[in-house]
Amino acid sequence: MSIAKTYNPKEAEEKWYSYWMENGFFRSTPDEREPYTIVMPPPNVTGVLHMGHMLNNTIQDVLIRRARMQGKNACWVPGTDHASIATEAKVVAMLKEQGIDKKSLNREDFLKHAWEWKEKYGGIILKQLEKLGASCDWDRTKFTMDSDLSEAVIDTFIKFYKEGYIYRGVRMVNWDPQGKTALSDEEVIRKEVNQKLYYIRYQIKDSAEYLIIATTRPETIMADTAICINPNDERYQHLKGKTVLVPLVNREIPVIQDEYVEMEFGTGCLKVTPAHDLNDYELGQRHNLPVIDILNDDGTLNEKAEILIGEDRFIARKKVAKMLEEVDQIEKIEDYKSQVGFSERTDAAIEPKLSMQWFCKMDQLAKPALEYVENGTIKLIPEKFFASYKHWMENVKDWCISRQLWWGQRIPAWYNSNNEWVVAKTEAEAIQEFEAQGKSTEGIRQEDDVLDTWFSSGLWPMSVFDGVRNPDNEDFKYYYPTNDLVTAPEILFFWVARMIIMGHDYTEKPPFRNVYLTGIVRDKLGRKMSKSLGNSPDPIELMEHYGTDGVRVGMLLSSPAGNDLMFDVSYCEQGRNFANKIWNAFRLVKGWETIDTPATEAQKTAAQWFENRFNQAVAEIDEHFANYRLSDALMATYKLVWDDFCAWYLELVKPAYQSPIEAETLETVKTLFQKILALAHPFMPFLTEELWHDELFGTRQAKDCVIVAQYPEVKAFDEQIIKEFATVQQIISEVRNIRNSKGMSPKVELPLAINNTDVNFSKYEESIVKLANISELTFVQEKITGAISFLAGKTECYVKLDTDNIDVEAERERISKEIAYLQGFLVSVDKKLSNERFVQNAKPEIVQNEQNKKADAEAKIKILEESLANLG
């Protein structure tokens, strides 16, 4: 049966993904094998596949497929995160389109809408991951608000509370006026923003004198409760004990002194607004200043502002500035750049806000999580991220874990009518706790706030195996700790650190052994890919156009661990071309007719070389995987297949046009081709499975699939054979180059003489004659005059051309240029070797490498000079 002329990725992808699923190849249950476990970083339930997901999940799939082929019990757990802020915003927007205001709903009704939305849209990204070929155990799919996972979250809150880590109190928090919720420090993204700096006149009471105070936020002046000066500032000594009037509202506030104020910065005077700035709040605490919060939860001005009540804060800023100008209390306005915090979820500008919240003490919890990474129990890949991880863990702040939302795990705290509270799992347990404390049980109600999403996802490697509620269950004991976590550096603290913290607190074990940190996917201009910039291709469209295998290869070719990926669709084109190369090589082999005769010595020699080269490549690839250099592992595979197998081995053994091939040789080719397919499978699952089942390899049993075939193991290889053949390859290439440089047809046969060396080239004679198109091959022990000569390794070779076919002057010019280049190269090498500091400080192998370069250059110059002399 013939094979299609071109590879049809779509047909293969649909066929084989269904086949793998139907035959349970992704399913994992505990057994006697070594487990290999990955938990998928759960994408937001609001999400659709983007280029970052493509990269992250392709890497995970490569690792899991390779482990499965190595005979390990590979378990990749998929799932999604409920993403409290983002999902609630989506549901609120959906309701608004339906003419429903969230405020008109009670919690129960809103959550019904939220769950309906989740069921309709929440699984889109997981279906898209199937298109990518993700070989997850879909039967294990989890959602962070599944009942068992939610129960684990509540149990953990209660556990941490009893251990003294969780407390409730009024603190300055990051407030998201759009999401109307508090955020942790890690959920705030700092951006440089172009602003205005307003210099405002504050009148000293009972004086014509004004103080000039600079601020970027004139809308907050109504919340000012003091003016602060440095006690050492001579300019303002006369102001001690004085008061000033807040512009527009004429409220009297004191002048205070504190060394916190920098005399050289701005005007040396600081307006103190304790309710709307963290530093001002701390200053106010030291000086017992009142706190006036003039902002509502949605960022509009409240009645405490006295003016512009109900106006949005940014509109109020412009209006206050205009009002100040009208009463001549603006000195000047300047353009100004400063860092402003924005919500990571809604992109709203953050407001510092005093708020009653729930917090988790982090200082003690963070210590073991730092030690795991410091002592190498957990490896960060690449290591460059350790410094920032260490800094964060050593300077960690208490974590604000409460969110003013309805979508999420509701905090298990209960209040009575006196606003006293207890922590308990159920209302019944709360009543018992109130009674035990001798407190009223009237008007029992549960805390409205939910927990920060990261509090639940921090349990992910445990909760997906039900290890929090039931640590003695078979799955948890078998799969935990997991092996590799593949994630993005920007959630190293959001998520990775918290999983380590919670994993240690429960099990005194790390949740994983290795953390592979991917880079950011950027466009070829270096810009981060985003919908707003319009520079991010649709991954689904890419896979439709280039085939999934092509896109997987394209992503990985340009993705060194931890370094940003400069992505361009040309990489996907390269990936598609690679798939087509393998397909066409297979068509070539399948088209050969056979003759029932043994292989020739040349074919056996070629097979011996390729098997050794294959084993050498497997060792290289294994080392790359061991060091999580997946891009390098793919490139080594790519070169082995494209160059060594297709360009050399198949060319060496293929029969002459319309001639049959020896049956023994074809069997060898088929065996080697299957090894190639197994090696490439983790990167290119669909193409390799399609070819694996071709009739060329005989009839396969139902489960005789490449997805579970033996992955090539590292074996010994003969470096001498590889080195010898590298010389043969160079000889063939040099002869071809001679033809190219002379504009000769590849069909023109040329005579070749090889000066005998230690290498026995006689066993390669047939291969050299065939691939270099040699009319006569001779082995000599003397130099041949009147011929073009070249070095292949240390072997001197000669090609004698008919002088009628040579432009002697052009050849003389070409050789002279090459000599000049090598002489310049020799000068640079000599300069390095004559540098005593280099010779003394460099590693011996580096010095030896430079000496080898010198010897090679000198030998080549000598040969070229002889060639020049031969031209007369």
Give just the sign of the alpha carbon dihedral 350, 352, 355, 358: positive
| Residue with the two structure tokens 């699939």 | 705
H-assigned helices in 834-843: 836-841
H-assigned helices in 710-807: 719-742, 765-772
Cβ distance 370 to 393 under 8 Å? yes
Q: What is the DSSP string of 551-597?
A: HHHHHHHT--TTS-EE--HHHHHHHHHHHHHHHHHHHHHHT--EESS
Cβ distance 68 to 135 under 8 Å? yes
Tell me which amino acid residue 440 is: S
Instruction: Give CA angle at 15 (10, 17), nearest 5°.
Output: 95
Q: Is 202 helix (H, G, I), strand (E, B) or coil?
A: strand
Peptide bond into 177 cis (omega under 30): no
Give the separation between CA 458 and CA 830, rounded to whole angstroms. Answer: 58
Q: What are phi and psi of 660, to 5 degrees?
A: -80, 160
Q: What is the DSSP string of 221-251?
A: GGG--EEEE-TT-GGGGGGTT-EEE-TTT--
Asked if residue 162 belongs to a known ligand binding site, the reply is no
Give just the sign of the alpha carbon dihedral 593, 598, 600, 604: positive
Q: What are phi and psi of 207, to 5 degrees?
A: -150, 155
b/e code 537-571 from CB counts within 10 Å (16+ = b): bebeebbebbbbbbbbbbbbbbbbbbebbbbeeeb
Q: Which two structure tokens, joined as six digits, stand for 500?
A: 């380590």
Q: What share of the chain is helix, strand, coil (3-state, %, to 5)?
A: 50, 20, 35
Give one word for 76, left, alpha or beta, with left for phi > 0 and alpha for psi -120 to 50: beta
- Residue 764 burial (C-beta neighbours within 10 Å; 0-12, 13-18, 19+): buried
Cβ distance 52 to 521 under 8 Å? yes
Q: What is the DSSP string of 289-304?
A: ------B-TTSBB-GG
Closest CA to 614 of 711, 712, 691: 712
Q: C-alpha 633: how far from its chain's center?
A: 17
381 sits in which H/E element? strand 379-381
Give the separation between CA 118 and CA 135, rounded to whole angstroms. Answer: 23
Bridge partner residues of 432 (DSSP): none
DSSP 8-state symbol, 480: -
Q: Which two structure tokens, joined as six digits, stand for 541?
A: 């469209």
Give the separation between CA 196 and CA 214, rounded to whole angstroms. Answer: 10
Give the separation between CA 56 and CA 556, rounded to whole angstroms. Answer: 10
Closest CA to 553 of 177, 89, 62, 119: 62
Closest CA to 668 of 652, 679, 684: 652
H-assigned helices in 681-750: 685-692, 719-742
Tell me which amino acid residue 100 is: I
Cβ distance 579 to 550 under 8 Å? yes
Give the separation between CA 52 and CA 559, rounded to whole angstroms. Answer: 11
Give the separation between CA 392 and CA 396, rounded to whole angstroms. Answer: 6
How many CA atoms are closer than 13 Å to the CA of 625, on its beta-carbon side? 24
Going through 322-377 in order, the beta strands assigned E by DSSP cover: 330-343, 351-360
Known binding-site residue numbers: 531
Known binding-site residue numbers for ATP: 531
